[in-house]
Structure 1
Amino acid sequence: MAIDLTTKKIRRILVIKWSAMGDVVIATTVIEDLRRAFPEAQIDLNTLPPWQRLFEGDERFGRVFTVDLRGKQRGLRGKLQWLREVRAGKYDLVVDLQASDHTRIMLSMLWLSGRQIPWRIGNNRQFPYNIQPEELEKPVHVIRQMRSALNSGGIPTETTHPVLHVSEQNRVNVERIQQEHNLEPGGYALFMPGCQAAGYLKRWGAERYAELSKLLAEKGISKSLIIGGPDEMGECEKLAALAPETTINLCGKTEIIDIVPLTEGARFVVANDTGTAHVAAAANRPMLIVCGPTNPVRVVPVGEQVEAIELDLECMYCYCKHECDHHSCMVGITPEMVLDRLGLMGVV
């Protein structure tokens, strides 16, 4: 029998989403659906310490708490602290968007400790979840799993893209950057040429991004902003050196939430499969993801204006699990191909 939780007395909700950054940002899509379904309820978020900064000042949450169960607090003391935190919440509903063996065990321990949360939604069909989604054919994007989990509890999922709180200070930061570089809204492109160091095969390459920036300048888009984090400094610096006249390197010069208003002012985004692209998706601007080792069905950011470009090769979707001496899936995607695709999207 289908359960409609929107007819129940739900006053306190716990959402669990630990990692990775991209998936945590994707989770804000369904968190927005939760807020709309339960406008009077208190929603708390349990995530890992690195991602707490994504939610500073976010009024959708009563609180955001972290316990580093994968790091410094991975032992018994950390588990006990997590149990104390969750027991004290006296939740009516838990939505486990991580739904890993680890979170499932922690919720089972909570059950055995005598604190039974009445309604328990998870992404898989196992104890301790008593509201479970239908089985989805794989490969499947994590947003479909999350939406299916909420739908199994009668919760509508209508939000189309991630929702992040942008503070006034972040908007001031971006206005300063735009004024400093004479950037007009809709007059610049935004590039995300990196990714975490371990996944370097997901990088399209500084040379190709540099050539794309020059082609865009010929089309009237004179500047391409380069965004990246600590793992991506070298790649961003290389790109800027290859195209000094057409790029502005902001790598390491912005806060993570600055990416949202920066993207709001961009005509479009071109990015690799990287976590910061999911943050940019909160701006709901046209975005093209260059994919090769990873399957776009599983990894593209959430949004109605997000598309992917890839080649049809035998070795596609290797997920960087082996050494590659040819990188054909990325090298074969030329800047001209990306430019043509942007034209089909109506942004060039």
Structure 2
Amino acid sequence: MIRPPSLVQYQDADCFTARLDHTVVHDLPRNASIKRILVIKWGGMGDIVISTAIMEDIRLAFPQAALHLNTMPAWQPLFDHDVRFSRVWCVNLQQKPGRWRAYRQWLKEVVEMQYDLIVDLQTNDKSRGLLTMLRLMGKAPALLLGNHPRFPYTIRQTQQLPQAHSFQIMQQALLSAGIPLRTSSPKLHIAPSSVVVAEQLLALHGLLSKSFAIFLCGSHANGLTKRWGAANYAALVAYCINQGERVVLLGGRDEVEECQAIASQHPWHVVNLCGQTRLLEVPVICAHAKYIVANDTGTAHLAASTRTPMMVICGPTNPLRVKPTGQQVVALQLDVTCKNCYTWQCSHHSCMRQLSPQQLLSYLPTAGVADA
């Protein structure tokens, strides 16, 4: 008899095992000449949300400095009401026609602002390439901090964490500059208007005073192998119904069909809000839920900014590197030989197809509604 693969759970204690080097090579917070700081963070939504904890520590370390953020246009709404930044600016560096024009525009913006310190929270070659061009032009500030101990950065790390969670990699960069680590979970600034809209939406469906679970059952269109599947989530809805709970589906435009497939099987017990919410309305809704079940998706990181218990299902991605931060979050993964393959296409999809709804039931969070 073949034994089915076991289901392994991961918490913060499992994911953040790399020992950070606390040796202070630079003590930038004591540098009175730092008046204007640029933070660079592009990436996907999950990585952006995780980095807001790092941004909080930078703000706390330099309370008097003007703090600017350079991000991608899609994520600017996350910072529309963020009082930590005196300026949030975007250049679409992902466009294919006109890419070099975008690079020139980016360089022009940085040069004109005359930053005293640039903190590059990226881990790819694009930001390093642009900052290298800035140095070769003789226009870079003396203080360049990044996630790699190499050119063009002038503040070099004493330790590299190449296989660690992105959160720890960014934390190590701060430590190398003498910036204290004080924030361990995402820090979002949500406008009161977003709270009102989200709570009105819940009230419209009679959910403000009733117990409900949230399913984040989709993923980006380029990450379909990260989806557990509509049939599995629909089976989980049936369990919630037996517990007297309703289910709310949240997601973006890439996930509409997935959510519709689930909602159509339980129309009286599922509230399908997929595509009906703005980014910062999602955490407000999640804060009212009893618990959350999610795929490895950017929306799960938004949800992790609340205290609501959450279970994240991982398959082709490594929980040790992608789990949303927070003690209230548990990541689950089948122990199959092909896990963590990070492939976009798979003929057997064993890491997800072999995981049954019954296997998850004992892991479902049972805590009550948490405070935002």
- Output the TM-score relative to the length of structure 1: 0.94
Contact map agreement 2:39 2:68 (CA 8 A) in 1: yes
What is the DSSP-based 3-state SS (H/G/I as helix, E as strand, rest coil) of the residue aligned with 1:242?
coil
Q: Which runs of 5+ in 1 are unaligned?
A: none
Contact map agreement 2:217 2:233 (CA 8 A) in 1: yes
Q: How far has the Cα of 1:237 moved from its partner? A: 0.1
Counterpart Cα distance in 2 of 1:347 and 1:324: 39
What is the DSSP-based 3-state SS (H/G/I as helix, E as strand, rest coil) of the residue aligned with 1:190?
strand
For residue 290 of structure 2, the aligned residue among 227, 251, 267 is: 267
* 2:47 corresponds to: 23
Contact map agreement 1:204 1:272 (CA 8 A) in 2: yes
What is the DSSP-based 3-state SS (H/G/I as helix, E as strand, rest coil) of the residue aligned with 1:301?
coil
* Sequence identity (%): 43
Contact map agreement 1:214 1:246 (CA 8 A) in 2: no
- Output the TM-score relative to the length of structure 2: 0.88
* 1:316 corresponds to: 339
Q: How far has the Cα of 1:74 moved from its partner? A: 4.7
* 1:235 corresponds to: 258
* 1:127 corresponds to: 151
AA at the equivalent of 1:298 = R
| 1:52 maps onto 2:76 in alignment | yes
Q: How far has the Cα of 1:64 moved from its partner? A: 0.7
User: Structure 1 residues 76, 198: closer, same or farther in 2, change over 3 A?
Assistant: closer
Q: How far has the Cα of 1:307 moved from its partner? A: 0.9
* 2:222 corresponds to: 198
* 2:10 corresponds to: none
Q: How far has the Cα of 1:219 moved from its partner? A: 2.5
* 2:138 corresponds to: 114
Q: Which runs of 5+ in 2 are unaligned?
A: 1-23
* 2:280 corresponds to: 257
Q: How far has the Cα of 1:306 moved from its partner? A: 1.1
Q: How far has the Cα of 1:321 moved from its partner? A: 4.5
Cα deviations across residues 113-170 of structure 1 (Å, max 9, x unaligned)?
2223121111111111122334445531110101111111111122121112211221
AA at the equivalent of 2:364 = L
AA at the equivalent of 1:125 = P
AA at the equivalent of 1:208 = N
For residue 318 of structure 2, the aligned residue among 283, 289, 295 is: 295
RMSD: 1.9
Q: How far has the Cα of 1:291 moved from its partner? A: 0.6
| Aligned counterparts, 1:95-110, within 5 A | 95-110=119-134
Q: How far has the Cα of 1:53 moved from its partner? A: 1.5
AA at the equivalent of 2:129 = I
Contact map agreement 1:161 1:284 (CA 8 A) in 2: no
User: Structure 1 residues 107, 275: closer, same or farther in 2, change over 3 A?
Assistant: same
AA at the equivalent of 1:334 = S
* 1:340 corresponds to: 362
Q: How far has the Cα of 1:251 moved from its partner? A: 0.6
Contact map agreement 1:124 1:133 (CA 8 A) in 2: yes
* 2:21 corresponds to: none
